[in-house]
Amino acid sequence: MSAVLETRGLLKRFGGITPTNEVSIKLEKGARRALIGPNGAGKTTLINLLTGVLEPTAGTIWLDGEDITKVAPHQRVRRGIVRTFQINQLFSELTPLQSLALSVSAQLGISAQWWKPLGHDPRVAPICDTLLRQFHLDDVMNQKVARLAYGKRRLLEIATALACEPRVLLLDEPVAGVPEGERQEIFDIINALPADVSVLLIEHDMDLVFNFAKSVTVLVNGAVFAEGDVQAISNDPRVKAVYLGEGQATQQTTPDHASDHARDDARARP
């Protein structure tokens, strides 16, 4: 199958630090790909490059065969690349219904009509109703986001991303900070995402990775360390060494380099 999203030799340098080191990956239509690696491996930097938050030092990014390396972040969203964040970026004083109405209105191209009430267009309400039910938010749709359980906030962020009708959805640690008892609901929702949406999942929770992903890319020191299906990656002794800190992979991932990448990832986040 042809790639929906592809990077070719993607490189990012900050002085002497290289958080993304000639990364070439392909994401096919409908893919369920996990992006994993130890802390400081450059995962979030890669997502920031894909979404246009950062400009690469070298290399290119392609969407459906079109070079989008120089395309602005908001235009990438319009073309179908949408992301969520490790720390949710929601409006705390809005309700889930209002949040979704804003996203849907933006996708329909009517959000700039500030003189008209939110949701005036008859197309908005049915889409919001569907998303509220799909993401189990209909019972809290009129509560302010600030009062929602954290798991519900994570679901709302994914719902607002889906309201943008993505072709590629980048999920950056969707269960980070979510209590154990609330994670299964998020697992179930993510597993039920539309089949035609290509998903790249960054996650440290291996239960979610191995239950969701069909293929896995492992990053170490900003470079692709291993790729394959879930079974192959889970049984790869080199990958186990990266996570357990044993053997040759430990020598490749020194504490100094790991801390440098971790600082860069933190600086690169918007």
Residue 33: pLDDT band (50, 70, 90) is very high
Backbone φ and ψ of 169, nearest 5°? -115, 120
**Model confidence pLDDT, tens digit, residues 44-76:** 999 999 999 999 999 999 999 999 999 999 999
Please give the structure tokens belonging to residue 117: 């009430």
Residue 97 scores a pLDDT above 90:
yes
* pTM value surpassing 0.75: yes
Residue 143 tokens, joined: 């509560």
State both tokens at 55.
Answer: 């400009």
pLDDT digits (tens, 9 = 90+) for 117-141: 766 778 899 999 999 999 999 999 9
**Cβ proximity of 48 and 269 under 8 Å:** yes
DSSP sequence for the chain: --EEEEEEEEEEEETTEEEEEEEEEEEETT-EEEEE-STTSSHHHHHHHHTTSS--SEEEEEETTEE-TT--HHHHHHHTEEE--SS----TTS-HHHHHHHHHHHHHT-TT-TTS-TT-STTHHHHHHHHHHHTT-GGGTTS-GGGS-HHHHHHHHHHHHHTT--SEEEEE-TTTT--HHHHHHHHHHHHTS-TTSEEEEE-S-HHHHHHH-SEEEEEETTEEEEEEEHHHHHT-HHHHHHHHT-HHHHHHS-HHHHHHHHHHHHHH--
Q: Which domains does the chain have, with CATH numbers?
A: 1-80+167-270 (3.40.50.300), 89-165 (no CATH)
Please give the average per-residue pLDDT across 217-246, as a whole number: 86
- Is residue 8 over pLDDT 70? yes
Burial label for 240, CB within 10 Å (0-12, 13-18, 19+), is middle
Sorting pLDDT into bands at 50, 70 and 90, what band is 197? very high
Identity of the amino acid at 267: R
Q: How confident is the model at residue 250 (pLDDT cuts 50, 70, 90)?
A: very low
> How does pLDDT run across 171-188, given as a tens digit for each residue?
999 988 888 888 888 889
Share of the chain above pLDDT 90, in %: 59
pLDDT band for position 39 (cuts 50, 70, 90): confident
Q: Does the CA dihedral 185-188-191-195 come out positive or negative?
A: negative
